[in-house]
Structure 1
Amino acid sequence: MQSILPIALFALGGVLLGGAWSMKQQGASKVVMVGFVVLAAVAVLGGVVWLLPKGTF
């Protein structure tokens, strides 16, 4: 049975990207938006890596 962790990481990435988009529309600082996008990318990449077969790296 697969773990729920990759699904949670993909969801977290989506929420962070949505937050960055919302902040962009509200005129927030670019530094904060880039931080959110970077955290979202790390979360999604973590989910992808978790789903890769063992021994890939």
Structure 2
Amino acid sequence: MDDLITKIQNKYDMTVLHHKTIRDTSKSLVFYLETTNGKFIGKAFPLQQER
């Protein structure tokens, strides 16, 4: 999760102040972020090597 937070901070030029995992399954990750630019909900999908 720390790697994902770092990527978000760098890509969107904001600082994540607090984060919370809402759902973490083998198919998706849903998380809540409080940042210097506001509050957001994000979703990530793990990609398989074969893809």
TM-score if structure 1 supplies the norm length? Answer: 0.25
TM-score if structure 2 supplies the norm length? Answer: 0.26
Asked which structure has the greater CA Rg, the reply is: 1
RCO comparison, higher one (Cα < 8 Å, 6+): 1
